[in-house]
Structure 1
Amino acid sequence: MSVPKIDLHAHFFSPAYREALKKAGHFPGPDGLPYTPEWSPEAHLAFMEKNNVSKSILSCSSPGTHLIPGDDEFGRQVTREVNEYAADLKRKYPTKFGFFASLPLPDIPSALLEIDYALDRLDADGFIFLSNYHGMYLGDPRLEPVYAKLQARRATVFVHPTAPCNAHACNHDPTPARVLKSAPLVDAYVLPMMEYFFDSTRTFVDLLLSGTAAAYPDITFIVPHCGNALPSVLDRAFALSTWPLAVSTSRTVHPLTAPVVKEMFAKQFMFDLAGVPMPSLIHHILRWTTSDRLVYGSDVPYTPWVVAEKALQAMEEELPKLFGEQEIRDVYHGNAARLLARKPTL
């Protein structure tokens, strides 16, 4: 059946952001890609019309807006430009585009200012976080002031993977080549093939076991790519969190159980269906959550337009095997509409 869709995982490029990527050494493409994807509002709107996407919530993907470690001024400049550009698109096409604002993390004072600016001046629909910021993962206690403000605003946080980063390597090599030092085989395959899934999994396990997610229950987190590898590692992570070895780590580990986390997922987490969830991955995430926590995502233009169309065709073949018509309507549209209606507080 043809159902209108809200796309919560879609990206954009402003002209100035392309130039910023080049200045920061992300050439010919970000995260080791051999190209920078082509994008324009017109091409995006054409994709939406062809595939019955009623609204796209745009975000600036990896490597984000704080592009050069230690250069906070450049990070603030790029962040504000990206957010202003997205806000202009939302004003021009209010029924078609929304956006998740970027933050200049790990520059925390500037991020706190940008949260208020993005919500109060730009009408952002929430925020995009990367899985790490130059080696700062999302359970890091240094992020507590940011989470406290987001909690007070009841904000939505869409998390997107980026290159895995050993903090020592990042801090001592401020070039994009640092990713080659961070993990085995990281230079053997393009990062979106494996490392994006692993880094998203790493940061969400950190959010859970550090106690961060539980401490801020009014923040809604959107997990990308149908949960990544989370369903495969959570049982083991929770079991080991109760072992004596857990106290010897650099984080304070908060022991968790599967029932507790399933309850958190049911109240505080959404899972998008970008990133080849069909035919296998969808079954794994449904061991941990239900259809009312699933939302559509295309991941264009990083997922090329034609490939995103094929992924949607696979989705439309597989979802009727799992859900009834109303559940499918909610996955494509209703769940996201309810999330977007949950406006941040003033």
Structure 2
Amino acid sequence: MEAPLSLSAHTQKEMALQKSGHVPGPDGLPFTPDWSPEAHLAFMERNGISKSILSCSGPGTHLIPGDDAFGREVTREVNEFAAELKRKFPARFGFFASLPLPDIDGTLLEIDYALDHLDADGFVLMSNSHGMYLGDVRLAPVYAKLQTRKALVFVHPTTPCPAQACNHGELTPQRKRDNIPLSATYIIGMMEYFFDSTRTFVDILLSGTASANPDVTFIVPHCGNALPSVLDRALLISSPEKRDFQATPGTVRELTPPVVKEMFKTQFYFDLAGSPMPNMIHHMLRWTTSERLLYGSDVPFTSDAEAEGLARTMESELPKLFREQEIQDIYHGNAEKLFGTK
């Protein structure tokens, strides 16, 4: 489901990353992957992929804290580029528009522009935007507009932003990473992507954000991340009996497993990018069913060769869990229904 953001825009993206301190690569990666429409179409052809939904991954498009003008500029360039690809290859490419969060006013403008002028298929949000997680009360106007537009929201993880780092007057990508345990040893994507996605979706659920906006559909990346392992505990602590365990009693919505499962059934999808097989999928199936699973390649941050290897693992593991029709729905049927192409 994920692809990069640009072609000629690759140079512009690199310049923006350098300007904002995301070097040599975004989210502390040692590189910025190359990508082109031609190479991606060839990848799709080799692997029987009829259509890709493009999105800009971490660190998103609002790259410099406090510089909303630059965030809006980068966001618009990324979205215009993706829209042009969709116009040029309408049967092969769709896209999730980026938003310049935490700039609320710029985000409200971009939602309307992306839907009304660029024909975006939905939106991609980072797991946090300079420390603003997705259940934050300040996002209420954004969710109100997304609710009105019945929008589809795909969430991509990025570097966690601990409060002590994000409240600092000179927030930089390095300062964020310096506050993350083991970040000097392991790349952010190994553990922290999973943890930050889990953190933001727990926030979406326990803040009441999801239930207050039932017409907003969320796509959770990487087979639910660590949600299956965390939800039982999070829901327990959300109960009135555990009010003393809540940092700010009264702000946490009480939820039960049946309520969450119903929301997952009607409002959430889970992509299978990364390494869901052979283990993670079993935990996620405690909370959802095959009808809510979507294939995702994770290209280009996962290389073509690695993505093809993961696809072969899926081919061998899915028949152990699902019938043939369910497998076909996971690969394409569920997405076709979601995007209205079936």
- Normalising by structure 2, report the TM-score: 0.96
1:172-228: CA deviation from partner (whole Å, max 9, x where unpaired): 232211222332212320011000000000000000000001100000000000000
Q: Distance in 2 between matches of 1:121 and 1:306?
A: 36
Amino acid of the structure 2 residue aligned with 1:212:
T
Unaligned residue ranges in structure 2 (runs of 5+)? none
Q: Does structure 1 residue 174 correspond to structure 2 residue 161?
A: no
Q: Which residue of 2 aligns with 1:237?
A: 234
Q: CA deviation at 1:251?
A: 7.3
Q: Which residue of 2 aligns with 1:282?
A: 281
Contact 1:246–1:253 (8 Å) recurs in 2: no
Q: Distance in 1 between matches of 2:136 and 2:166?
A: 16
| Stretch of structure 1 that moved more, 220-229 or 239-248 | 239-248
Q: Does structure 1 residue 59 correspond to structure 2 residue 55?
A: yes
Q: Which residue of 2 aligns with 1:265?
A: 264
Higher relative contact order, structure no. (Cα contacts within 8 Å, ≥ 6 residues apart) = 1
Contact 1:103–1:115 (8 Å) recurs in 2: yes
Q: State the SS of the aligned residue for 1:57.
A: strand
Q: Distance in 2 between matches of 1:273 and 1:323?
A: 14
Residue of 177, 183, 188 corresponding to 1:186: 183
Contact 2:127–2:200 (8 Å) recurs in 1: yes
- Superposed CA RMSD in Å reads 1.2
- Normalising by structure 1, report the TM-score: 0.94
Q: State the SS of the aligned residue for 2:143.
A: helix
Q: CA deviation at 1:275?
A: 1.1
Q: State the SS of the aligned residue for 1:263.
A: helix
Q: State the SS of the aligned residue for 2:219.
A: strand
Q: Distance in 2 between matches of 1:251 and 1:103?
A: 30
Q: Does structure 1 residue 218 correspond to structure 2 residue 211?
A: no
Q: Which residue of 1 aligns with 2:84?
A: 88
Unaligned residue ranges in structure 1 (runs of 5+)? 1-7
Q: CA deviation at 1:246?
A: 4.5
Q: CA deviation at 1:247?
A: 4.7
Q: CA deviation at 1:325?
A: 1.0
Q: Distance in 2 between matches of 1:251 and 1:39?
A: 47
Q: CA deviation at 1:162?
A: 0.3
CA distance change for structure 1 residues 288 and 84 in 2, over 3 Å: closer, same or farther?
same
Residue of 122, 125, 140 corresponding to 2:121: 125
Q: CA deviation at 1:35?
A: 0.6
Contact 1:210–1:251 (8 Å) recurs in 2: no
Percent identity at matched positions?
A: 69
Q: How many residues align?
A: 335
Q: State the SS of the aligned residue for 1:118.
A: helix
Contact 1:10–1:297 (8 Å) recurs in 2: no
Spell out the pairing of 1:66-81 with structure 2 (5 A cutoff). 66-81=62-77
Amino acid of the structure 1 residue aligned with 2:322:
F
Q: Distance in 2 between matches of 1:329 and 1:181?
A: 43
Q: Distance in 2 between matches of 1:67 and 1:180?
A: 15
Residue of 4, 23, 47 corresponding to 1:27: 23
Q: Distance in 2 between matches of 1:280 and 1:12?
A: 30
